[in-house]
C-alpha cells in the first residue's frame, strides 16, 4: 500500500491543511439557501475560511447563478413554501450540493420536503444525531425535539450508514464526536467543544463549511466533510481559549478559523478511520 493510502491521523491532518489551503486559494463560490437565523454566522464562517458566500434564494436567479457556483448549500431551518421551488431548482443545477435537514422531524410537511430534497442527490447530508435518526427512519414522531439534538452522535451511526447506503450521499452526524460515512467507511472527527452547542446555527455553519470544502475539491466528499468538521471543531477549541461564554466564543471561533496555520492544523486535527 502506498504510504499516502495509509490514513493515519497525520495523513488526515495533512489533508485537512491541503483542503483548507485550497479553499483559501480558490475562494469557492457557495450559494447558500439557508435559514434566517443562520445567515450571518454562515456567511461569516465561510468568509473567514476563505470561501465566497452568496445568500441568493430568488427562483428567478437560480438558472443564471447556481450553475456558476462551486457548490450549493441548502438548509431547511426556517422552512417556507415560498423558498421550496428555489431549493429544488438550485439542488438540480448540476453543481455539488450539501444538505442540512434542520429539525426534519418537526412536522410531516418538513419530513416530506426533506425526503424530496434527498432524492435530488446531495453530495453530503449533515445533521445532528436526532435529525439523522429521524431522516433515516422517515419518522416525524414527537420523541424528537426541535432544532437541537436529544441523542448522542454514536446513537445515529447505524442510521447514518443506512442513509448513506440507500441514498448514495456521504452522511455526517455531528456531536461530541462527529461521524462521517459513505455507507461503507466510517470516519470520526473529535475536535470541538461542548459550548459550540450554545451558539445558534453552529451546525448550519459547519454544513456550509462542508459545502465550501466540497466546492474547492469535489473529488472526495467523505474526506472533504471530515476535514471541514475537524477544522470547524478546531476553530472552536482555539476560540474557547479566549472565550467567556457563547457570544465571545462565536467571535473567537470565527477569528480562529481565519487564522489557522499549517502547524496548528496538522498537529491538532483529530480524524481517524474506524476499523
Ligand X SMILES: Nc1ncnc2c1ncn2[C@@H]1O[C@H](COP(=O)(O)OP(=O)(O)O)[C@@H](O)[C@H]1O
Ligand Y SMILES: Cc1ncsc1CCOP(=O)(O)O
Binding site for Mg ion (CB under 5 A): 102, 203
Examine residue 192 and tell whether it contacts ligand X (CB under 6 A). yes
Element at 262 (helix H, strand E): helix 262-268
* Full 3-state SS string of 145-211: CCCCCCCCHHHHHHHHHHHHHHHCCEEEEECCCEEEECCCCEEEECCCCHHHHHCCCHHHHHHHHHH
Choose between 78 and 139: whose C-beta lies nearer to ligand Y: 78
User: Residue 135 binds which entry of Mg ion, ligand X, ligand Y, none, with Cβ cut-offs from 5 to 8 Å by kind?
Assistant: none
Closest C-alpha among 98, 175, 97, 74 to residue 133: 175
Cell numbers standing for residue 185: 467507511
Choose between 89 and 201: whose C-beta lies nearer to ligand X: 201
- Least CB distance from residue 155 to ligand Y, whole Å? 17
Examine residue 149 and tell whether it contacts ligand X (CB under 6 A). yes
Look-up: residue for cell 471543531? 233
The correct pick among 196, 257, 265, 269 for binding ligand X (CB under 6 A) is 196
The correct pick among 13, 183, 215, 233 for binding ligand X (CB under 6 A) is 233
Choose between 13 and 203: whose C-beta lies nearer to ligand X: 203
User: Residue 233 binds which entry of ligand X, ligand Y, Mg ion, none, with Cβ cut-offs from 5 to 8 Å by kind?
Assistant: ligand X
Query: Which string of x and - marks every residue 120-139 that binds ligand X (by CB under 6 A)?
Result: --------x-----------
Closest C-alpha among 136, 139, 133, 183 to residue 153: 133
Helix (H, G, I), strand (E, B) or coil at 68: helix
Q: Measure the CA–CA gap between 137 and 121, rounded to whole angstroms.
A: 18
Examine residue 28 and tell whether it contacts ligand X (CB under 6 A). no
Examine residue 37 and tell whether it contacts ligand Y (CB under 6 A). yes
Q: How far is CA 185 from CA 6, 120, 153, 157, in A?
A: 14, 23, 16, 11
- Least CB distance from residue 259 to Mg ion, whole Å? 26
Residues in the chain: 275
Examine residue 77 and tell whether it contacts ligand Y (CB under 6 A). yes
User: Residue 262 binds which entry of Mg ion, ligand Y, ligand X, none, with Cβ cut-offs from 5 to 8 Å by kind?
Assistant: none
User: Residue 190 binds which entry of ligand X, Mg ion, ligand Y, none, with Cβ cut-offs from 5 to 8 Å by kind?
Assistant: none
Q: Measure the CA–CA gap between 48 and 59, rounded to whole angstroms.
A: 28
Instruction: Using the Cα atoms of residue 224, residue 225, residue 227 and residue 233 in order, give the sign of their dihedral.
Output: positive
**Contact between 4 and 47 (Cβ < 8 Å):** no
The correct pick among 90, 204, 222, 225 for binding ligand Y (CB under 6 A) is 204
The region of 2-10, 200-208, 215-223, 261-269 touching ligand Y under the rule CB under 6 A is 200-208
Task: Using CB under 6 A, list all residues that contact ligand Y.
Answer: 35, 37-38, 77-78, 102, 147, 200-204
Task: Using CB under 6 A, list all residues that contact ligand X.
Answer: 128, 148-149, 174-176, 178, 192-194, 196-197, 202-203, 206, 229, 232-233
Amino acid at each position: 500500500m502506498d504510504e499516502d493510502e495509509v490514513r493515519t491521523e497525520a495523513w488526515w491532518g495533512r489533508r485537512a491543511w491541503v483542503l483548507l489551503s485550497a479553499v483559501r486559494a480558490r475562494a469557492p463560490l457557495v450559494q447558500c439557501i439557508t435559514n434566517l437565523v443562520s445567515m450571518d454566522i454562515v456567511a461569516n464562517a465561510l468568509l473567514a475560511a476563505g470561501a465566497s458566500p452568496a445568500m441568493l434564494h430568488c427562483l428567478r436567479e437560480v438558472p443564471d447563478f447556481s450553475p456558476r457556483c462551486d457548490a450549493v448549500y441548502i438548509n431547511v431551518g426556517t422552512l417556507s413554501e415560498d423558498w421550496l421551488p428555489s431549493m429544488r431548482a438550485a439542488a438540480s443545477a448540476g453543481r455539488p450540493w450539501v444538505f442540512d435537514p434542520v429539525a426534519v422531524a418537526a412536522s410531516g410537511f418538513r419530513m416530506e420536503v426533506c425526503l424530496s430534497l434527498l432524492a435530488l442527490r446531495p453530495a453530503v447530508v449533515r445533521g445532528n444525531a436526532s435529525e439523522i435518526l429521524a431522516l433515516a427512519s422517515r419518522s416525524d414522531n414527537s420523541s424528537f425535539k426541535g432544532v437541537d439534538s436529544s441523542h448522542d452522535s454514536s446513537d445515529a451511526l447505524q442510521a447514518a450508514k443506512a442513509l448513506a447506503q440507500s441514498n448514495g450521499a456521504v452522511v455526517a452526524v455531528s456531536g461530541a464526536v462527529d461521524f462521517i460515512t459513505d455507507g461503507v467507511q466510517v470516519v470520526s472527527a473529535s475536535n470541538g467543544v461542548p459550548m459550540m452547542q450554545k451558539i445558534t446555527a453552529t451546525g448550519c455553519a459547519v454544513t456550509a463549511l462542508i459545502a465550501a470544502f466540497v466546492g474547492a475539491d469535489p473529488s472526495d466528499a467523505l474526506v472533504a466533510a471530515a476535514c471541514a468538521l475537524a477544522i470547524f471543531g478546531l476553530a472552536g477549541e482555539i476560540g474557547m481559549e479566549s472565550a467567556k461564554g457563547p457570544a465571545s466564543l462565536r467571535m473567537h471561533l470565527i477569528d480562529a478559523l481565519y487564522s489557522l496555520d499549517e502547524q496548528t492544523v496538522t498537529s491538532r486535527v483529530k480524524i481517524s478511520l474506524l476499523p
